[in-house]
Structure 1
Amino acid sequence: MPRLFFSIELPAPVKERLLQVRASVAGARWQSSAQLHLTLLFLGQVSEGRVSELCDAARCLRLPPFDLSVAGVGCFGQPASPRNLWVGASPREPLVALQAALKENLGPLGFEFEKRTFRPHITLARFKKQRGSVAGLLEEYRDADFGSFQVTEFVLYQSTQGAGGSVYTVVERFALEA
């Protein structure tokens, strides 16, 4: 069964700027350019037979394109022992609306979703048990601007575990249109 999630792809210039935020930090597993994205909705394992149903429901969304700014570095967990280093995305409202619309369309089909509050972000690094401090990176990049772009589509990705971490393959792209 494929492991699936909906996401916003990032343009190459934004990814290039994000890849500059790297430092030698104990336990950090830095994301590659191909792994940088903004997750909208994680679905987990989905049977092959349900993928077309999932795509049909996503195609029904009618939301307008919107501008997105990528800026500011933060972390989940304490800076001295983080779980995740991330970059923020704003404005939040169109991202929250897109995620809510996906949930509304997919919920009646029996898909279940994470209960925690949606916090739009782009993961830069994940940390193993041995975690080094990211306090210096937070200070250096707290107000950094990594670029803006117009979001004109969202993507359904399949995630497969690989030797260098997860490998993401596009299953289908969905246009945003008013």
Structure 2
Amino acid sequence: MPRLFFSIEIPVQIKQRLLQVRAPVAGARWQSAAQLHLTLLFLGPVSDDRVAEVCAEVRALAMPAFDLEVSGIGCFGQPASPRNLWAGVSPCDSLLALQAALKDVLGGLGFEFDQRAFRPHVTLARFKKQRGSVAALLDDHQSTNFGAFPVQEFVLYQSTQGGGGSVYTVLERFALEG
């Protein structure tokens, strides 16, 4: 069964700026340009026969286009031993409404989701066992503005595990209004 998630793609020029954050940090598995995105909602494994149903329900959503800004970096976990390093995304009302609408419509189809609050971000690096400190990176980039961009669509990705990390394939694009 394919592993699916909804996401917003990041423009190439912002990805290039995000990639410049890379630094030698013990245990960091840096994301490639192709892996940089903003996850809206993770569905997990979905049977092939349900993918069409998911897409049909999501196509019926009427949500407005909006602008996002990517700025600053932070981490999940302590800076001395992080789990993830991420770039911040301005949590505008339209972004939060889109994520909530997806969660609502897909919850109606029986999908269950993590109950933690949605914290929009772009994952830059993941850490496993050996974790080096990212404190210096946080200091250097806490107020870095990576850019703003219009969000006119979101995508349904299929995630496939590969030797260099996950590979994401767009299954469908969903236009926003306006």
Deviation per CA, 1:17-65: give whole Å up to 9, x if none.
0000000000000000000000000000000000000000110111110
Deviation per CA, 1:106-125: give whole Å up to 9, x if none.
11111111111110000000
Which residue is equivalent to 1:36?
Answer: 36
Matching of residue 129 in structure 1 with residue 129 in structure 2? yes
Which residue is equivalent to 2:176?
Answer: 176
Matching of residue 91 in structure 1 with residue 52 in structure 2? no
How far the C-alpha of 1:96 sits from its partner, in A, is 1.2
* Identical pairs, percent: 72
SS in 1 for 2:20: coil
What TM-score do you get using the length of structure 1 for normalisation? 0.98
SS in 1 for 2:108: helix
Which residue is equivalent to 1:145?
Answer: 145
SS in 1 for 2:94: helix
Which residue is equivalent to 2:118?
Answer: 118
Judge conservation of contact 1:6–1:41 (CA < 8 Å) in 2: yes
How far the C-alpha of 1:104 sits from its partner, in A, is 1.4
Which residue is equivalent to 2:160?
Answer: 160
Once residues 21 and 99 of structure 2 are traced to their aligned partners in structure 1, the CA distance between those partners, rounded to angstroms, is 27
* Number of equivalenced pairs: 178
Judge conservation of contact 2:86–2:125 (CA < 8 Å) in 1: yes
Judge conservation of contact 1:92–1:120 (CA < 8 Å) in 2: no
Judge conservation of contact 2:66–2:95 (CA < 8 Å) in 1: no
SS in 1 for 2:101: helix
Deviates more, 1:100-109 or 1:37-46: 100-109
Q: Which amino acid aligns with 2:10?
A: L
Which residue is equivalent to 1:54?
Answer: 54
Which residue is equivalent to 1:78?
Answer: 78
Matching of residue 17 in structure 1 with residue 22 in structure 2? no
How far the C-alpha of 1:91 sits from its partner, in A, is 3.5
Deviates more, 1:87-96 or 1:44-53: 87-96
Pairwise CA RMSD: 0.8
Unmatched tracts of structure 1, length 5 or more? none
Deviation per CA, 1:71-122: give whole Å up to 9, x if none.
0000000000000000011133222110110111111111111111110000
